[in-house]
Amino acid sequence: MVDGGGGRWEAYDGGQRVGALRAGTRPDRRTHVAFQDCRDDAYAPLLAHALTDLTGDLHTSVDERDYTGMRQLGDLGFTLRRIEHRYRVPVDPARLRLRPVAPPAGIDLVSAADADLDRLRVLDDTVRHEVPGSEGWRWSPEEFREETISDGFDPRTYLVAVERDTGTYVGLMRLWMKQAGPRFGLIGVLPSWRRSRVTYALLSAVLAEVHRRGWRDAEAEIDAANHASNAIAVRVGGSCVLVRRGTAGQVGSIGSSSSSSGAR
């Protein structure tokens, strides 16, 4: 039996939950699904029932060591889109050979807490277009406000580079101070300000603050194709981003297993 709808489905065998599926749409308008604590025979019925509500391509992410999940998702029509590596990145400027760097003349670094959220949102959308997997990203004002002032937000580790004369936002660096430890969010600079020390100024200021608080490393997820970033950190794991195209074949029949688990 599967119970749910509206982006949430749970599979039961008798009275015991044997799996769950959650779906949501990101600001890039891609639908992402997450299978949670699924028994082998719960994947297909969960997806079958979800497809009564969901249309178009479905995206999901699975840990690289979850071989069972990878096999199950492959059987349901999901294929590999890209690979992300998970790293621990040193935040000690000395380990990174990163000296304190002042921003170029005419550029000020300000906290996101003091920034105009609409202009910051537009900058975030712009720099995200070059991040693998974020093409077409467009925050709504409400989504961006909720994301910015969220758990892990720290005004000293979320900085914005602002052109003094025009007030133009030209770059940002966001590092979330999570309870489990620092986690990189996003760093990006407009093309016209690259190779001008803006990136290094943002990076050195934020990392110096995190290191001052006693942290040695921060966690980051980096696309496997980003060889420059991959070279400065210690790999601790990874994940596979999969997609099931809307034209994929039908999911196998729900009653094929001897178990009574299903979806509704």
Could you please report the per-residue DSSP string of 25-84? E-TT--EEEEEES--GGGHHHHHHHHTTT--S-EEEEEETT-HHHHHHHHHTT-EEEEEE
Based on the fold, state whether residues 160 and 119 are members of the same structural domain: yes
> Is the residue at 10 inside a domain?
yes
Q: What backbone phi and psi angles, to 5 degrees, belong to 216?
A: -100, -30
- Residues 73, 111 within the same domain: no
Range of the domain at 165: 92-215
**CA-to-CA distance for 255 and 205, rounded, in angstroms?**
58
Task: Look at 35-39, 150-154, 192-196, 229-233 and tell me which has the smallest mean pLDDT.
Answer: 229-233
Q: Which pLDDT value is given to residue 137? A: 85
Q: CA 135: distance to chain centroid? A: 13
Provide mean pLDDT across the span 8-24.
94
* Segment 35-80, tens digit of pLDDT: 999 999 999 999 999 999 998 999 999 998 899 899 999 999 999 9
Strands (E), the chain: 2-5, 8-13, 16-25, 31-36, 58-63, 79-90, 107-111, 158-163, 169-178, 181-189, 217-223, 234-244
Specify the number of domains making up the chain: 2
For all residues of the chain together, what is the average pLDDT? 86
Nearest to 218 by CA among 96, 85, 87, 97: 87
Q: Are 162 and 142 in contact (CB under 8 A)?
A: no
- Domain membership flag for residue 6: yes
C-beta of residue 216 within 8 angstroms of C-beta of residue 181: no
136: confidence class by pLDDT, cuts 50, 70, 90: confident
Asked if residue 178 and residue 156 are part of one domain, the reply reads: yes
Q: Which of 37, 62, 162 is nearest to 109 (CA)?
A: 162
> Do residue 154 and residue 246 come from a single domain?
no
Domain shared by 112 and 14, yes or no: no
Beta pairing class for 16-25 and 31-36: antiparallel
Rounded distance between C-alpha atoms, residue 58 and residue 44, angstroms: 14
Contacts of 62 (CB under 8 A, 6+ apart): 69, 70, 73, 239, 240, 242
Q: What angle do CA 240, 44, 53 make, to 5 degrees?
A: 90
177 and 73 in a single domain? The answer is no
Mean per-residue pLDDT, 81-110: 86
71 and 168 co-located in one domain: no
| 2 contacts 10 by C-beta, under 8 angstroms | yes
3-state DSSP assignment of residue 200 = helix
Chain segment 21-38, per-residue pLDDT in tens = 999 988 888 899 999 999
Q: Which of 70-74, 81-85, 161-165 bottoms out in mean pLDDT, i.e. has the lowest?
A: 81-85
73 plus 101 within the same structural domain: no
Whole-structure pTM value: 0.71
The rounded percent of the chain whose pLDDT value lies above 90 is 59
Is 231 part of a structural domain of the chain? no
Q: Please indicate, yes or no, if residue 226 is contained in any of the structural domains.
A: no
Question: How far is the C-alpha of 45 from the C-alpha of 219, rounded, in Å?
Answer: 35
pLDDT, position 231: 54
Residues 250 and 175 placed together within one structural domain of the fold: no
Residue 201's pLDDT band (cuts 50, 70, 90)? very high
Task: Report residue 226's pLDDT band, with 50, 70 and 90 as the boundaries.
Answer: low
* Per-residue pLDDT tens over the stretch 168-186: 999 999 999 999 999 999 9
Asked if residue 220 belongs to a domain, the reply is no
Tell me, yes or no, whether 222 lies in a domain: no
Nearest Cα neighbor of 83 from 244, 243, 220, 239 is 239
Residue 90 pairs in a beta bridge with 217
Q: Same domain, yes or no, for 16 and 115?
A: no
Query: Are residues 173 and 204 part of one domain?
Result: yes
For the segment 3-11, the average pLDDT, to the nearest whole number, is 84
Whether pLDDT at 10 is above 80:
yes
CATH of residue 49's domain is 3.40.630.30
127 lies in the same domain as 152: yes
Q: Would residue 261 count as lying in a domain?
A: no
pLDDT at 262: 41
Flag whether 227 is in a domain: no
Q: With bands split at pLDDT 50, 70 and 90, how would you rate the model's confidence at 227? A: low
Which pLDDT belongs to residue 89?
85
